[in-house]
Amino acid sequence: MSIDASAASSNKVKTVLPQAGITYALGDNQVSLSALQQSVDENSPKTDNSSSVSTSKEANSEIANSSAVTDETPLASTITENILKDIQSATGAVISKKDGASEGASTAEEAEEERFKSLVIAKVNDYVNVRNLPSEEDGEIIGKLYDKSVGTFIEEDNGWYKIKSGTVEGYVKAQYCVTGEDAVELAKEVGTRIATVTTTTLKVRSGPGLDEEVLGLVPIEDELVVEEELDGWVKVSIEEGDGYVSLDYVTLSTEFVEAESKEEEEARLAKEKAAREAAQAAARKGTSKNAESSGTASYNSASSYTTDTSSIGSAVSQFAQQFVGNPYVYGGTSLTNGADCSGFVMSVYANFGVSLPHSSGADRSVGAAVDGLANAQSGDIVCYSGHVAIYIGNGQIVHASTAATGIKISNADYRTVLAVRRIF
């Protein structure tokens, strides 16, 4: 008989689990609610039956000339009063002519805490079994809710919680989980607050203002970990250091890890095995080019680092280190002419037959999850807020750092590690 709370050793590779976000901002191109409300207040026709709104020249100019983004942003005149109401309704924001943004943020925070009360959060060493019936004897195991993973409470049944988490709906033993008021603070602890970029290229500034120095650039759909939420700005962490981005050009969400069904676990394990075998075969055949020309620059092929006895992860590490000193280029993927952080990782792994996304945020879900930096092995992918690197052993990483430093070796714990992922 399988026990319902597993306390397996924590030094193994943990499972790959889907993530879910609770999002309080909408739209691919956004302007602040307070700016929209001001536009509505100043420019709406005085008749009650009109729903259209035209923005003032000042509001148009402010948005059009904003240096918060590098691409063109739609003017506020394209937003109708009805859309504003929809946004207010969806986010729970109640905006008045005075201190509207603050009141909206407060309301959103309260709404978030109410949602957290309906969560069920696993609090065990490893995982809690999810069963189709509220019984250890008669209930079949249909999934796993891992430690600090989250489901939505449906009902309580004699010491069991019925939950919905990811694709899994079933019962977990209540003694291994928390919900209600107890779940609120734990949810804030285990959830990750994420700012997702919604404009083509977003400037990260040294302070919360448009006159502040630009520290770096972040591409659309990249995900940044939020360290602090301010009035109209969020503090985030990127490779160049802590900085600030405008709330107008990101959506905020809270990510939680959800349950994994039995079928999802089996499919994932099979996929990981096939990917490892294919990558190993590709590397041993020397599928990469022997050299990449860049004037007089060339490099050794992936196959030259791979033998029958060496691990592919170590080969990845050795292969990547030969590019130390080469330039950092934002958006680049060339190992010799210049790459950004995710472009560097992508191109290194491409030489071993593995296709990875050109996105540091997306790299957080590739391969298999490793239980912390302490269990990292050479070749593992180390993910940070807005940055990604390759682990080379002895507590160090190789990465395309900044335009000033290029590709270099650093201590892996120089910043907070969000995830470690294993491909091989």
Tokens of 247: 């709330």
Mean pLDDT of the chain: 76
What is the DSSP annotation of 210-253? TTSPEEEEEETT-EEEEEEE-SSEEEEEETTEEEEEEGGGEEEE
Average the pLDDT over each of 28-37, 154-163, 361-370, 385-394 and give the range with the smallest value.
28-37
User: Would you state the structure tokens that stand for residue 279, as one six-digit string?
Assistant: 């990558």
Compute the distance between CA of residue 165 and CA of residue 311 in angstroms, rounded to an integer: 36
Beta bridge partners of 228: 235
In CATH, the architecture of 282-422 is: Alpha-Beta Complex (3.90)
Using the CB atoms, write b or e for 249-266: b if 16+ within 10 Å: bbbbbbbbbbbbbeebee
Q: Residue 289 carries which side chain, given as an amino acid letter?
A: K
Contact in structure between 208 and 261 (CB atoms under 8 Å): no
Name residue 225's amino acid: V
Q: Which three-class secondary structure state does DSSP give residue 341? A: helix
**Whole-model pTM?**
0.54
pLDDT, position 223: 86
Q: Has residue 353 got a pLDDT over 70?
A: yes
Task: Read off the pLDDT band of 301 (50, 70, 90).
Answer: low
Q: Where are the domains of the chain?
A: 1-194+248-263, 282-422
> What's the pLDDT tens digit per position in 386-409?
899 999 999 999 999 988 899 999
Residue showing tokens 């992936």? 302
